[in-house]
Amino acid sequence: MLKFFAKYKTFAIVLFVLSVIIILCIYTLLKPEERLPVYQPEMVNAELVDSTVQYVRKYHKIADFELVNQNGDTITQEDYKDKIYIADFFFTTCLTICPIMTDHMIEIQEKIKSDDEVLLLSHTVFPVADSVPVLKEYAIEKGVIDEKWNLVTGDKKQIYDLARKSYLATKSTGDGGKYDMIHTENFILVDKEKQIRGFYDGTDPEAIKNLMHDLKVLKAQYR
């Protein structure tokens, strides 16, 4: 009996290895490719969406914009052409969620600083106070890498419209104030086609891990 097993030992090992390879191939073929949803306004909490786009079901994209960054440079959609980017809304004097959000953006910046495919974009919701010099001082203090991360200010109506009609990420104050808004903790993942692919709690470390995972999934889509 021992001689029989010894005779076919090599054959058995080869058969086992081939079986493992076949099983792995079948699993890979049957496993569905992970893909991120494309968010439409009707899929998002209505409090965060302007009434004019609230019931849009398809083709939603980030609108063109023209804002000014921490260096006084004009930033438009062209600066983000063919890029994946992560956007948020903040203001420099915020003492509640903004410091945590900024710290997490700094962590993300560190992870993507050598990645030519990914950028960051932070919009102030308090442009009357967050002038270019203020943003520059804030950027230096936080270690912002200019080539990776734009902190932008500009016309309040434009920022309000972007927040409510494009990024679906801020609440209206509801007090009748024109273009007044309350920014949320949301980080927004935007693909190369200017579509929203994910929302993440910028104050939650676990959500940031999910964002980084989803970023890899999204990048794989372009391979």
Residues tagged in the binding site annotation for Cu cation: 94, 98, 183
Both tokens of residue 69? Answer: 């960054």
CA atoms of 63 and 65, how far apart (whole Å) = 6
Contacts of 102 (CB under 8 A, 6+ apart): 90, 142
144-164 in b/e form (b: 16+ CB < 10 A) is beeebbbbbbbebebbbbbbb
The span from the CA of 109 to the CA of 118, in Å, is 9
- Could you list the residues known to form a binding site, using ranges: 94, 98, 183
Q: Is 165 helix (H, G, I), strand (E, B) or coil?
A: helix
d(CA 48, CA 171): 5
Query: CB under 8 Å to 77, separation ≥6 — which residues?
Result: 62, 64, 65, 194
Q: How many C-beta neighbours within 10 Å does residue 108 have?
A: 21
